[in-house]
Amino acid sequence: MYYKYTILFAIALITIILQLKVYYNYILHKYFRNGDEIVYDYLIKFINSVSKDNYFMNYGLWDQNNNSLRKANKNLCSFIFENATLNSSDTFHILDVGCGYGKQDFLLHNMLSSSSKIVALDLSEKQIDFANNYRKRKKISKKQLKFVQCDAHCLIDKFFCKKFNRIISIESAFHYKDRHLFFKSVSSLLTKDGLFVISDIMLKNTYKPSIINKLFLNIACDFLCIPEKNLIKMNEWKKQVKKSNLKIVKFYDITDKTFVPYYKFFFEKYIKNQNLPDFIANILINMFNSLQPFSYVVAVCKTNVEHFTLF
């Protein structure tokens, strides 16, 4: 009799797990995926629920003065631009890969001379349409700021080699199916005296898989569309950059100034806006901070001219 109930319990448990898996995949593909593309429509609603009309898509760089999401978003962009050594007196030809809604490019446009040009790319047609409509409202010429729908894996097909003296990638490369190909494309498109500045996400060097944090990682990869081949640690990421004929000249690990304050701000604000008890926010903050396995870095790179080869 005991054996019979054990079998029935096992069958019931398996049925429940399979049913939960079906529902999980339904939610994932209905709200977060459109083919291989991440659909940000749902994510942007979450962002706007804690930061109204905010279309920046980054974790932000947080400090005492930049302690709201929008300020932190802008601060991260400013940090990227500062490390790209941009100014209003020189002429720059800039490529921004993975521009999202283009908010950082409007900030960048205001910093540059009228002779400088920005080409901003994203896979999402909706985000490019949003950026172009905003550009038209601001009456900014396409000659100065151009938004184009393009796959980051097709840069070589789209542009001439040695075309850009600055290439920027803000929090997008970890989504790409072939991040190494992207790095190689950058090295080919960058002028010999140019700079590539990237903020990117990879596994911590100290990451050790356990049942719980591996489950957290799998869910994060599903919803944020992080390919398994991009689940490499920081040391391996640096090697991948080097193999792409790029050399890192500056490197910043800003993990503690991104994820930790972001989770605190987001969950406290969201739970408060939903009129839920504060302890729920505290549980979520502690859970995410203890389980999240990623490092957040900013790197400044140049082409390695000693080993430079074209495709």
Asked if 25 and 100 sit in the same domain, the reply is: no
Tell me how far apart the alpha carbons of residues 263 and 179 are, in angstroms, rounded to a whole number: 26
- CATH number of the domain to which 296 belongs: 3.40.50.150
Asked if 280 and 171 sit in the same domain, the reply is: yes
Asked if 48 and 163 sit in the same domain, the reply is: yes
Tell me phi and psi for residue 129, to 5 degrees: -60, -40
Tally of domains in the chain: 2
Asked if 16 and 66 sit in the same domain, the reply is: no
Asked if 97 and 9 sit in the same domain, the reply is: no
- For residue 212, the model assigns a pLDDT of 85
Asked if 213 and 271 sit in the same domain, the reply is: yes
Asked if 126 and 220 sit in the same domain, the reply is: yes
Tell me phi and psi for residue 260, to 5 degrees: -60, -55
Asked if 24 and 140 sit in the same domain, the reply is: no
Asked if 178 and 293 sit in the same domain, the reply is: yes
Structure tokens at 7: 């079998």
Asked if 141 and 260 sit in the same domain, the reply is: yes
**Residue-wise pLDDT tens for the chain (311 aa)?**
555 545 545 555 455 444 545 544 555 455 555 655 566 677 788 899 999 999 999 999 999 999 999 999 999 999 999 999 998 889 999 999 999 999 999 999 999 999 999 999 999 999 999 999 999 999 999 999 999 999 999 999 999 888 899 999 999 999 999 999 999 999 999 999 999 999 999 999 999 988 888 888 888 888 778 999 999 999 999 999 999 999 999 999 999 999 999 999 999 999 999 999 999 999 999 999 988 899 999 999 999 766 544 43
Asked if 158 and 10 sit in the same domain, the reply is: no
In terms of Cα–Cα distance, which of 245, 233, 121, 148 is closest to 188?
Answer: 245
- For residue 214, the model assigns a pLDDT of 86
Asked if 2 and 79 sit in the same domain, the reply is: no
Structural contact between residues 118 and 109, judged by C-beta atoms closer than 8 angstroms: yes
Domain region containing 204 = 40-307
In terms of Cα–Cα distance, which of 252, 266, 228 is closest to 58?
Answer: 266
68 secondary structure, DSSP code: S
In terms of Cα–Cα distance, which of 294, 254, 251 is closest to 62?
Answer: 254
